[in-house]
Amino acid sequence: MNPTPGLLAPFNTAHTLHSSAFVHFDSALHASFTTADFTSAVALLAAVSGAADALNHHPDVRLGYGNVDFVLTSHDVGGVTARDVRLATRIDELAAEHGATVATLQPTRCDIAIDCTDSDAIRPFWVAALGYREVSGDDGIELVDPRGRGPKVWFQHMEIARTDRNRIHLDVYVPNDDAEERVQTIIEAGGVLLTDEHAPEWWVLADVEGNEMCVCTASF
């Protein structure tokens, strides 16, 4: 049986999710809901479980006391499809029925970048130190937490080793619409904007002692 046309195609969510709790970020849809207590959070999750079974498409879930987080993505195409949008719409409806409210925190992702002249020479050290595994990524061979909890580690090639600054920095990924506000918040907290020449893909900032980080936007 052939899938319904459009269900497996990458999906533009700009208008579809206008009034939804879900945010399109990092090739997935993210939403967080707060409830009165743990029991009500479990009840919402149970309702979503039934809906997911009916749609034959299932979210990743994080359950806590009075909160439930959902992440929707179509792993077979590596992004968001109409299947995810349909499930997101149903979760929005169920959250309203259960009296859940939308959490205001936006999704983020943090990666660790290590400057180096020979990544092959240092990578085994970090694999052993972190208990990570090697995968092929956009920036060559990267390290990922097999438990799916810790930040990704990637290696930034330098022709000449830098000795005048830190050689490890954080890349903080935020939704595209929030990036400029995050940069301004960092500046107001004492940060220094080193360059915005690559914006809106990324901005390079530093604290008052010169420790650097990048605010990055995640592509869909």
Q: What is the pLDDT of residues 116-127, one digit of tens each?
A: 999 999 999 999
Ordered by start, the domain boundaries in the chain are: 10-102, 111-217
In DSSP notation, 169-192 reads EEEEEE-GGGHHHHHHHHHHTT-E
pLDDT of residue 4: 42
pLDDT of residue 219: 58
What does the pLDDT look like over 115-159, one tens digit per residue? Answer: 999 999 999 999 999 999 999 988 789 999 999 889 999 999 988
- CATH number given to 10-102: 3.30.1360.20
**Residue 10, preceding bond cis, omega within 30 degrees?**
no
- pTM value? 0.76
pLDDT of residue 16: 67
Domain covering 111-217, topology: 2,3-Dihydroxybiphenyl 1,2-Dioxygenase; domain 1 (3.10.180)
* Residue 26 burial by Cβ neighbours in a 10 Å radius (0-12, 13-18, 19+): buried
How would you classify residue 12: left for phi > 0, otherwise alpha for psi between -120 and 50, otherwise beta?
A: beta
The whole-chain average pLDDT of the chain stands at 89
| Distance between CA atoms of residues 161 and 41, nearest Å | 51
pLDDT of residue 3: 42
